[in-house]
Amino acid sequence: MRWQKYISVLTFILLLTFSSKAQDVFAVFPAALKSGNTAVLSKNFDKRIDITLDDNSDNYSKDQAEVILRDFLNKFSVREFTIIHKGSSPNGAQYIVGNLKTNKGSYRTYIYVKKTDDVTYIQEIRFEKE
């Protein structure tokens, strides 16, 4: 009887963890941006990711994208990130639009994620100076 309760609780926790993976990306992203923690962000990167910084846009490998993002975020000393809007599309893609405030100005920020093989990956990040 004791084992059945243990297995039931464990199964519930595992199901909850797997079902909320996309929400975890969005929950982690604001705090990671505020702290400049690109290691946390890159855990959710797809193999290739589109990054746009103002007018410069390119497609990078996961490792290159982490370096590009780290260099960008290290330019700023004060960070505040607020989510303005969240949405999803019929094909399962999700996105958030936010505002990154820094000591050098504000950036409209777009994060696009998509589920592939039951794993949610960040596929695009855009920072546009406001």
Q: How many domains does the chain have?
A: 1
Q: Which residues contact 47 (CB under 8 A, 6 or more apart)?
A: 61, 62
CA dihedral 111, 119, 93, 108 (to 10 degrees): 0
> Which pLDDT tens digit goes with each residue over 101-128?
999 899 999 999 988 777 889 999 999 9
Question: What percent of the chain has pLDDT above 90?
Answer: 40
For residue 121, the one-letter residue type is Y
* Per-residue confidence band for 1, with pLDDT thresholds at 50, 70 and 90: low
> Which pLDDT tens digit goes with each residue over 47-94?
999 999 988 999 999 999 999 999 998 888 767 889 999 998 888 789
Domain that holds residue 42: 2-129
**For position 101, what pLDDT does the model report?**
92
Question: What percent of the chain has pLDDT above 70?
Answer: 80
Torsional class of 54: left (φ above 0), alpha (ψ -120 to 50), beta (otherwise): left
Q: What is the CATH number of the domain that holds 71?
A: 3.10.450.50
Q: Is the pLDDT of residue 14 over 50?
A: no
Q: Is the pLDDT of residue 41 over 60?
A: yes
